[in-house]
């Protein structure tokens, strides 16, 4: 069934089409000038010295783990309230994810609990701007500095957000953005690692390109500057971004301010319309945050169950309004229960949020009429649950 109001929708315009066609006409589809241009634009926007474009946000996080040498025996403190990729990269590195509960308002890692979880085996803190909210990232950066461990900033949901004067992605030793089509900008699939650490940037450049030795970039014939195409210095991956994706990225970066403005407009419309619905907990934005808005996620009040939330989501979908449960807790997902023995009750704040939250349709072209339709349908679905209880 077609969803009349989709959960998300990329905003692709003439500029994107033109730049992608330029790449197709050039015949240069990988390791070319678009990737470099895209990297420069992202680095400049975030204010970091280096940006390394990769094939996905997950690939970017994987490179940082490898670049920092994180592996078996290491613990990485992270959040259970996130998209699963932020923890999977820790497991794939052979390290142990140490989950810590979140703060009930921001739904981000609670810095006090993080500090209490630091042990001699802690090799990094991997923090996420959950749902794009940057609250506590500054405190986590201070904590990481105090304990001399790197902060890895998963900013996949926060491109364009600025917190206390600092761009998301620039708080950690390294940050990562993701460009799946529901994000602030998209490259179809893609990601970028940003960092001021030159050695780490070089390691990421080499690792994304099968471990080849790297000067700053590939040369025109596809070889790197220092060695042959078939010489490899370390165990690498193919996590390169292709030129078509980078062309999309360049166009989207040029339009980033316009895209953010539209997202802010839609978020304001939702906040105004839903502020009187007392069964809902709405997202809060710190006064010192300029928010680029990844999604619009609301929570049902604390007395609603997961089953009731799921019925509300199904009811919205039946009425052709896109909705999804953002986020089910990572530690309660099957592979985490099976491998580490996590169970319900271990991180009660994250679990409560995970049970009660739902994403509403959110994209740049959502009209005020559609916001009204979503809000009305949501109210009806909540009332239906209340009546079933009574
Ligand atoms: C918080 C978070 N981390 C990591 C990722 C992974 O990004 P990708 O889907 O580009 O691999 C995403 C994106 O979906 C995300 O939201």
Predicted local distance difference test score (pLDDT) of residue 227: 58
Instruction: Supply 291's token pair.
Output: 């928010």
Atom of ligand 1 nearest to the CA of 130: 1
Ligand 1 pocket, residue 87 CB under 6 Å: no
60 lines ligand 1 (CB under 6 A): no
Report CA(137)–ligand 1 centroid distance (Å): 18
pLDDT at 271: 98
Q: Which of 334, 301, 193, 179 is nearest to 248 (CA)?
A: 179
Q: How far apart are the CA of 178 and the centre of ligand 1, in A?
A: 6
Q: From start to end of 226-291, where are the E strands?
A: 280-281, 289-290
Half-sphere exposure of 274 (CA within 13 A, CB side): 29
Q: Note the pLDDT of residue 214.
A: 84
- Domain 14-254, CATH number (from 3.30.70.260, 1.10.10.60, 3.30.70.80, 3.40.640.10): 3.40.640.10
- Tell me whether strands 289-290 and 162-163 are parallel, antiparallel or unpaired: antiparallel
Residue 313 Cβ < 6 Å to ligand 1: no
Cβ atoms 76, 97 nearer than 8 A = yes
183 included as an active-site residue: yes
Residue 384 CA to ligand 1 center (angstroms) comes to 34
The owner of tokens 């169970």 is 343
Residue 260 Cα, ligand 1 centroid: separation in angstroms? 19
Distance of CA 255 to the CA centre of its chain: 19
Pocket mutation for ligand 1, best pick of 102, 178, 245, 329 (most atoms within 8 Å of C-beta)? 178
SS3 169: coil
Instruction: Identify which of 235, 83, 68, 52 has the alpha carbon closest to the alpha carbon of residue 152.
Output: 68
Local structure of residue 266 (DSSP, 8 states): H
CB neighbourhood size of 289 (10 A): 19
Tell me, what's the pLDDT at 215?
A: 66
Q: How many CB atoms lie within 10 A of CB 103?
A: 17
243-277 burial, b for 16+ CB within 10 Å, e for fewer?
bbbbbbbbbbbebbeebbebbbebbebbeebbeee
Token pair in block for residue 169? 């992605």
**Measured from the CB, is residue 95 less than 6 Å from ligand 1?**
no
CA distances 66 to 168, 206, 321, 326, Å, are 22, 11, 41, 28
Is residue 78 in contact with ligand 1, taking CB distance under 6 Å? no
Confirm or reject: Cβ of 155 under 6 Å from ligand 1: no
Please report the pLDDT score of residue 221 as a whole number. Answer: 44
Q: For every one of its 390 residues, what pLDDT tens digit does the chain have, with 9 covering 90 and above?
A: 556 899 999 999 999 999 999 999 999 999 999 999 999 999 999 999 999 999 999 999 999 999 999 999 999 999 999 999 999 999 999 999 999 999 999 999 999 999 999 999 999 999 999 999 999 999 999 999 999 999 999 999 999 999 999 999 999 999 999 999 999 999 999 999 999 999 999 999 999 999 999 864 444 444 455 557 899 999 999 999 999 999 999 999 999 999 999 999 999 999 999 999 999 999 999 999 999 999 999 999 999 999 999 999 999 999 999 999 999 999 999 999 999 999 999 999 999 999 999 999 999 999 999 999 999 999 999 999 999 987
Q: What distance in Å separates the CA atoms of residue 379 and residue 274, rounded to the nearest whole number?
A: 9
Domain ranges of the chain: 14-254, 256-389
Q: Counting atoms of ligand 1 from 1, which one is nearest the CA of 60? A: 11
The three-point CA angle 172-177-183 to 5° equals 140
| Phi and psi at residue 212, to the nearest 5° | -70, 150
Q: What are the Cα distances from residue 186, in Å, to 72, 146, 252, 275?
A: 34, 36, 7, 30
Q: Return the best residue to mutate from 54, 89, 128, 180 for the ligand 1 pocket (most ligand atoms within 8 A of CB).
A: 180
* Amino acid 228: pLDDT: 76
> For position 266, what pLDDT does the model report?
98
Residue 361: name the closest of 4, 5, 10 by CA. Answer: 5
Which residue's entry shows tokens 């990481």? 144
pLDDT at 184: 98
CB 132 near ligand 1, within 6 Å: no
Please report the beta strands in 250-380, taking only residues with DSSP state E, as ranges in sequence order: 280-281, 289-290, 296-300, 357-360
Given the CA of residue 61, which atom of ligand 1 is nearest to it?
4
Fold of 256-389: 3.90.1150
- Cα 44 → chain centroid: 19
**Cis peptide bond upstream of 327, omega within 30:** yes
Pairing of β 75-78 and β 280-281: unpaired
E strands in the chain: 50-54, 75-78, 96-99, 122-128, 151-154, 162-163, 166-167, 174-178, 191-195, 280-281, 289-290, 296-300, 357-360
């Amino acid at each position: 069934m077609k969803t009349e109001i989709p959960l998300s929708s990329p905003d692709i315009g003439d500029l994107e089409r033109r730049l992608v066609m330029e790449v197709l006409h050039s015949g240069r589809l990988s390791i070319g000038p678009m990737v470099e241009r895209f990297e420069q634009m992202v680095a400049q926007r975030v204010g970091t010295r280096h940006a390394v474009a990769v094939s996905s946000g997950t690939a970017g996080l994987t490179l940082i783990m490898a670049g920092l040498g994180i592996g078996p025996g290491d613990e990485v403190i992270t959040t259970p309230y996130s998209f699963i990729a932020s923890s999977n990269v820790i497991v794939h590195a052979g390290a142990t994810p140490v989950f810590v509960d979140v703060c009930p308002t921001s739904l981000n890692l609670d810095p006090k609990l993080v500090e209490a979880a630091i042990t001699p085996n802690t090799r990094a803190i991997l923090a996420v701007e959950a749902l794009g909210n940057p609250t506590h990232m500054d405190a986590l950066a201070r904590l990481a500095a105090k304990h001399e461990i790197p902060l890895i900033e998963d900013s996949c949901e926060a491109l364009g957000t600025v917190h206390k004067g600092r761009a998301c992605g620039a708080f950690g030793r390294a940050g990562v953005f993701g460009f799946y089509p529901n994000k602030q900008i998209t490259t179809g699939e893609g990601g970028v690692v940003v960092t001021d650490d030159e050695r780490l940037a070089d390691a990421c450049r080499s690792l994304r390109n099968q471990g080849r030795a790297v000067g700053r970039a590939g040369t025109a014939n596809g070889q790197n500057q220092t060695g042959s195409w078939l010489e490899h210095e370390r165990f690498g991956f193919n996590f390169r971004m292709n030129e078509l994706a980078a062309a999309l990225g360049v166009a989207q970066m040029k339009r980033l301010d316009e895209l953010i403005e539209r997202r802010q407009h839609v978020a304001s419309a939702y906040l105004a319309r839903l502020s009187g619905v007392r069964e809902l907990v709405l997202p809060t934005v710190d006064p010192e945050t300029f928010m680029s808005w990844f999604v619009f996620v609301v929570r049902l009040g604390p007395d609603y169950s997961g089953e009731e939330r799921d019925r509300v989501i199904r009811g919205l979908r039946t009425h052709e309004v896109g909705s999804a449960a953002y986020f089910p807790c990572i530690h309660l997902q099957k592979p985490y229960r099976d491998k580490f023995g996590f169970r319900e009750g271990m991180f009660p704040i994250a679990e409560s949020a995970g049970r009660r939250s739902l994403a509403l349709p959110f994209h740049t072209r959502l009209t005020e009429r559609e916001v009204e339709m979503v809000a009305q349908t949501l109210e009806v679905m909540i009332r239906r649950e209340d009546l079933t209880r009574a």
